[in-house]
């Protein structure tokens, strides 16, 4: 009976060390060797300081910047509280919030339909990307606030569109933080 317990305990310890420590260290080491930028969190540096990650949305409220999708994560774009609102499509609070966003954005760009991703949150509340349509919708506001021609900003968006992965996975998208950083460079 004692040998069965000893064998069970040894097996548990060996398995815990291999699967709980060895495997994560191996995978992390391989990721850091092959994809160092991604393994480090896809951090974006400006003047030697970390200002964000390509993987997490940030709040931009100034008219001079492109705005990301709305966030239901904590108090908004809170990476420690990732998640959606979990409100049903029929929930009055959700319907009123979306309608309020549509009304506000319709004033910003009259006569153009508001892209759905500018009024709905993602499942995580931290989606860093918007659709090209959502970026193009915001051009008049950004151009006016910055005093830059709409054509220059259109071209900047075109340069920031990421195509589908492998040509068929996902949808074309624009990373808002990357776009806004290059927008700042354009204005210099």
Residues 70 and 12 in one domain: no
pLDDT over 90 (residue 188)? no
Residues 50 and 17 in one domain: no
Q: Domains in the chain: how many in total?
A: 2
For range 12-29, the mean pLDDT: 95
Residues 24 and 46 in one domain: no
pLDDT band at 75 (very low <50, low <70, confident <90, very high): confident
pLDDT over 90 (residue 3)? no
pTM score of the predicted model: 0.81
pLDDT digits (tens, 9 = 90+) for 23-74: 999 999 999 999 998 888 888 888 889 888 888 888 898 999 999 999 887 7
pLDDT band at 78 (very low <50, low <70, confident <90, very high): confident
Residues 83 and 7 in one domain: no
In DSSP terms, 175 is beta-bridged to 129
What CA–CA distances, in Å, run from 167 to 68, 110, 131, 171, 175? 24, 34, 16, 9, 18
Distance of CA 120 to the CA centre of its chain: 14
Residues 126 and 181 in one domain: yes
3 state DSSP class of 50? strand
pLDDT over 80 (residue 84)? no
Residues 26 and 46 in one domain: no
pLDDT band at 18 (very low <50, low <70, confident <90, very high): very high
Q: Tokens 């929930």 appear where?
A: 91
Residues 22 and 90 in one domain: no
Are β-strands 129-130 and 173-175 bridged in parallel, bridged antiparallel, or unpaired? antiparallel
The terminus-to-terminus CA distance of the chain in angstroms comes to 78
Secondary structure of 82-138 in HEC code, one letter for each residue: CCCCCCCCCCHHHHHHHHHHHHHHHHHCCCCCCCHHHCCCCCCCCCCEECHHHHHHC
pLDDT of residue 133: 97
pLDDT digits (tens, 9 = 90+) for 109-124: 888 999 999 999 888 8
| Ramachandran quadrant class, 47 (left: phi over 0; alpha: psi -120 to 50; beta: rest) | left
Beta strands across the sheet bearing 173-175: 129-130, 173-175, 161-162
Residues 123 and 136 in one domain: yes
Distance of CA 15 to the CA centre of its chain: 36
What is the extent of the structural domain holding 22?
Answer: 1-40
pLDDT of residue 26: 95
Check if the beta carbon of residue 77 is closer than 8 Å to that of residue 122: no
Residues 24 and 50 in one domain: no
Residues 105 and 167 in one domain: yes
Rounded-to-integer distance, Cα 188 and Cα 186, Å: 6
For range 12-24, the mean pLDDT: 95
Residues 148 and 123 in one domain: yes
pLDDT digits (tens, 9 = 90+) for 90-101: 999 989 999 999
Residues 7 and 61 in one domain: no
């Amino acid at each position: 009976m004692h040998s069965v317990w000893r064998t069970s305990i040894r097996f548990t310890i060996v398995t815990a060390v291999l699967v709980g420590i060895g495997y994560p260290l191996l995978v992390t080491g391989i990721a850091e060797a092959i994809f160092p930028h991604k393994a480090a969190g896809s951090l974006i540096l400006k003047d030697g300081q970390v200002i964000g990650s390509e993987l997490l949305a940030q709040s931009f409220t100034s008219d001079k910047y492109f705005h990301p999708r709305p966030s239901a994560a904590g108090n908004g774009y809170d990476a420690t509280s990732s998640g959606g609102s979990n409100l049903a499509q029929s929930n009055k609070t959700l319907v009123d919030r979306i309608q309020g966003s549509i009304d506000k954005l319709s004033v910003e760009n009259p006569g153009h339909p508001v892209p759905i991703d500018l009024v709905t949150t993602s499942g995580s509340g931290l989606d860093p990307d918007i659709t090209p349509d959502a970026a193009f919708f915001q051009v008049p506001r950004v151009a006016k606030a910055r005093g830059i021609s709409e054509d220059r900003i259109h071209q900047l968006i075109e340069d920031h569109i990421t195509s589908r992965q492998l040509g068929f996975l996902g949808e074309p998208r624009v990373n808002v933080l990357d776009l806004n950083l290059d927008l700042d460079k354009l204005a210099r």
